[in-house]
Amino acid sequence: MDHFTRRDGVLHAEDVPLTRIAEEVGTPVYVYSQATLSRHARVFREALAILPDVHCAFAVKSNPNLAVLRVLRAEGFGADVVSAGEMRRALAAGMAAGDIVFSGVGKTDDELAEALDAGIGQFNLESEEEGEALAKIAAARGVKAQCALRVNPDVEAGTHEKISTGKAENKFGVPYDRAAAIFDRLAGRDGLAMRALAVHIGSQLASLDPLEAAFARMGALMEAIRAEGHAVTHMDLGGGVGVPYREGERFPSPQDYAAMVARVTKDWGVRLMFEPGRVISGNSGVLVTRVVRVKQGVSHPFVVVDAAMNDLARPAMYDAWHDFVAVTDRGDTMVANIVGPICESSDTFAMGRDIAAVETGDLAAFRTAGAYGATMANTYNSRPLVPEVLVSGDRYAVVADRIEPAEILAAERVPDWLA
Catalytic residues: 343
Choices 11-19, 44-52, 260-268, 273-281; region in contact with ligand LLP by CB under 6 A? 273-281
- Is residue 364 a contact partner of residue 358, using CB atoms and an 8 Å limit? yes
Residue 123 interacts with ligand LLP (CB under 6 A): yes or no:
no
Q: What is the side-by-side strand order in the sheet with 4-7?
A: 4-7, 10-13, 16-17
Alpha carbons 51 and 272: distance in angstroms, whole number? 8
Q: Closer CB to ligand LLP, residue 121 or residue 277?
A: 277
Q: Closer CB to ligand LLP, residue 219 or residue 240?
A: 240
Residue 370 interacts with ligand LLP (CB under 6 A): yes or no:
no
Output the smallest distance, CB 61 to ligand LLP, in A: 6
Residue 314 interacts with ligand LLP (CB under 6 A): yes or no:
yes
Alpha carbons 106 and 171: distance in angstroms, whole number? 10
Q: Closer CB to ligand LLP, residue 16 or residue 81?
A: 81
Alpha carbons 79 and 89: distance in angstroms, whole number? 10
- Could you tell me if residue 210 is left (phi over 0), alpha (psi between -120 and 50 degrees) or otherwise beta? alpha
Q: Closer CB to ligand LLP, residue 240 or residue 285?
A: 240
Residue 284 interacts with ligand LLP (CB under 6 A): yes or no:
no
Output the smallest distance, CB 151 to ligand LLP, in A: 12
Q: Closer CB to ligand LLP, residue 289 or residue 375?
A: 375
Question: Pick from 9, 24, 8: which is nearest to 391 by CA?
Answer: 24
Question: How many chain residues touch ligand LLP (CB under 6 A)?
Answer: 23
Choices 174-182, 217-225, 275-283, 339-347; region in contact with ligand LLP by CB under 6 A? 275-283
Alpha carbons 89 and 60: distance in angstroms, whole number? 9
Alpha carbons 205 and 179: distance in angstroms, whole number? 25
Output the smallest distance, CB 153 to ligand LLP, in A: 13
Question: For ligand LLP, which residue of 122, 204, 284, 392 counts as binding (CB under 6 A)?
Answer: 204
Residue 278 interacts with ligand LLP (CB under 6 A): yes or no:
yes
Question: Pick from 154, 169, 325, 320: which is nearest to 242 by CA?
Answer: 320
Output the smallest distance, CB 104 to ligand LLP, in A: 8
Q: Closer CB to ligand LLP, residue 112 or residue 304?
A: 112
Residue 14 interacts with ligand LLP (CB under 6 A): yes or no:
no
Residue 340 interacts with ligand LLP (CB under 6 A): yes or no:
no
Residue 153 interacts with ligand LLP (CB under 6 A): yes or no:
no
Which DSSP symbol is given to 8? T
- Is residue 21 a contact partner of residue 29, using CB atoms and an 8 Å limit? yes
Q: Closer CB to ligand LLP, residue 18 or residue 157?
A: 157
Question: For ligand LLP, which residue of 27, 34, 62, 348 counts as binding (CB under 6 A)?
Answer: 62
Residue 103 interacts with ligand LLP (CB under 6 A): yes or no:
yes
- Is residue 318 a contact partner of residue 382, using CB atoms and an 8 Å limit? no
Question: For ligand LLP, which residue of 13, 47, 59, 391 counts as binding (CB under 6 A)?
Answer: 59
Sign, Cα dihedral of 340, 203, 53, 40:
positive
Phi, psi at 18, each rounded to 5°: -65, -25
Residue 48 interacts with ligand LLP (CB under 6 A): yes or no:
no
Residue 27 interacts with ligand LLP (CB under 6 A): yes or no:
no
Residues 211-240 as x/- pattern, contact with ligand LLP by CB under 6 A:
---------------------------xxx
Q: For the beta carbon of residue 408, count every other beta carbon within 10 angstroms.
A: 14
- Is residue 316 a contact partner of residue 387, using CB atoms and an 8 Å limit? no
Burial of 318 (0-12, 13-18, 19+ CB in 10 A): middle
Q: Closer CB to ligand LLP, residue 19 or residue 170?
A: 170
Distances (CA, A) of 267 to 213, 254, 272, 304, 413: 16, 21, 12, 55, 61
Residue numbers of the site for ligand LLP (CB under 6 A)? 59, 61-62, 80, 103, 163, 165, 200, 203-204, 238-241, 275-279, 314, 318, 371-372
